[in-house]
A = this chain, B = another copy of it.
Amino acid sequence: VARTRRRSTYHHGDLRNALLRAAAELAERDGPEGVTIRSAARMVGVTPTAAYRHFAGHDELLTAVKHEAVTRLGRAMRRYLDRVPRDGDAALAAVRHGMATGRGYVGFAVAEPGLFRTAFFRPKTPTEEAMAERKDDPFQLLSEGLDELVRVGYLAPESRPMAEFAAWSSVHGLAVMLIDGPLLDAPREAREQAITRTLQTLIRGLGDGEHGERIWSAFRAEQG
């Protein structure tokens, strides 16, 4: 993948973006540990030193890639959500959205394990937290899904607090099982079953009371 194509121009013109793209490719292939200034520069066909014109250092490059990875994760989730049929019943739709959110998260992890690991690489710095209100922010999508479940009466308002962590934990753990854990070498069918089983357990676990139970049964019925 090393395309050390020599530039004709002395000035690159768009080096910052080129380095970022290269770094993202490295993250894709080898995860966050694979992102180095030297190899990104190598891919672009430029001296490592040149990178220092555009990034303060390795840390800044890695942070930029991480940001990119989070963005792509959010977009993947959005894609899954958009594919959910807009049916009559709002309650049923809410449950479907919950499933889709989870599937989007796990789907991205499986499709792009290196980027997924990079997105989750070491705790956010305070600066990053501040700019967390982006469009298609993964955590945002998750919260919206839960709010929807409250709105349709599946999740009791008093059960809402901390529900994001129950949901996120379950889905994140599933992703790790699939890309780094015991499900890595499992046959495709087993992986599918594990995903379905986990997401169903999660969403059923969130449901509250009789109303919740009714909605859940309806959802199970439509799954066949």
User: A residues touching B (Cβ–Cβ < 8 Å)?
Assistant: 120, 122-124, 139, 161-163, 165-177, 180-185, 190, 193-194, 196-198, 200-206, 213
A166: chain B residues within 8 A (beta carbon): 170, 194, 197-198, 200-202
The reply to whether A194 and B123 contact each other, CB–CB distance below 8 Å, is no
A211 → chain B closest CB, angstroms: 14
- Please pick, from B120, B175, B203, B213, the residue contacting A181 in the complex, using a CB distance under 8 A: B120
A205: chain B residues within 8 A (beta carbon): 200-206
- Please pick, from B124, B163, B173, B175, the residue contacting A170 in the complex, using a CB distance under 8 A: B173
The reply to whether B177 and A169 contact each other, CB–CB distance below 8 Å, is yes
Judged by DSSP, the binding face of A is helix
A147 → chain B closest CB, angstroms: 16
Extra contacts, 10 of them, besides A173-B176, A201-B206 (Cβ < 8 A), are A123-B185, A162-B190, A162-B198, A166-B198, A168-B177, A169-B173, A169-B174, A169-B176, A169-B198, A172-B173
- Please pick, from B168, B180, B201, the residue contacting A123 in the complex, using a CB distance under 8 A: B180
Listed by A's residue number, 5 A-B pairs whose Cβ atoms lie within 8 Å are: A161-B197, A163-B201, A171-B173, A173-B173, A205-B206
